[in-house]
């Protein structure tokens, strides 16, 4: 370890004092290596893919949503509002069939759980619907899955 400092010039009328700070040998090289590691790690993190959600289409109704997974064969409904209204999703399949209430999250609470369907076949569109008692359900738009 060595000390790097500078002395004040007596000519300026200031008191003679030296400001010292420790400096480790190779200090800047260590910083460069650390910076390179951080940049490399950030670049690698940018390419992380979540299995099952890559390319998943989301359909929204307010904060509630549904999404397809398992190569467009299943759908999940997620209730993200604490409003005592359950959520379900409807699905249109590649064979022309429309399945109402394909998946259901009926708890009416934003508790992080989602309801999912069984294997339905190839889902080409889906939508999210909030279940309103004694009124028609409030549904979002149909969203294509890209299948």
pLDDT in tens, 64-91: 999 999 999 999 999 999 999 999 999 9
**Residue, of 42 and 123, whose pLDDT is higher:** 123
Residue 52 to residue 72: CA distance in whole angstroms = 10
pTM: 0.61
- Please give the share of the chain, as a percent, with pLDDT higher than 70: 63
Query: Domain-by-domain residue ranges, the chain?
Result: 2-45, 58-144
């Amino acid at each position: 370890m060595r000390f790097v400092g500078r002395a004040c010039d007596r000519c300026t009328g200031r008191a003679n004092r030296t400001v010292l700070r420790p400096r480790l040998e190779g200090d800047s090289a260590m910083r460069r290596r650390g910076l390179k590691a951080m940049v490399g790690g950030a670049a690698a993190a940018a390419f992380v893919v979540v299995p099952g959600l890559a390319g998943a289409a989301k359909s929204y109704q307010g904060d509630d949503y549904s999404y397809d997974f398992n190569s467009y064969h299943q759908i999940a409904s997620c209730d993200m509002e604490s409003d005592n209204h359950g959520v379900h999703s409807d699905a249109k399949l590649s064979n022309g069939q429309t399945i109402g209430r394909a998946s259901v999250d009926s708890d009416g609470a934003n508790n992080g759980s989602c309801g999912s369907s069984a294997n339905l076949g190839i889902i080409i569109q889906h939508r999210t619907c909030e279940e309103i008692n004694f009124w028609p359900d409030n549904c979002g738009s149909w969203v294509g899955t890209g299948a």
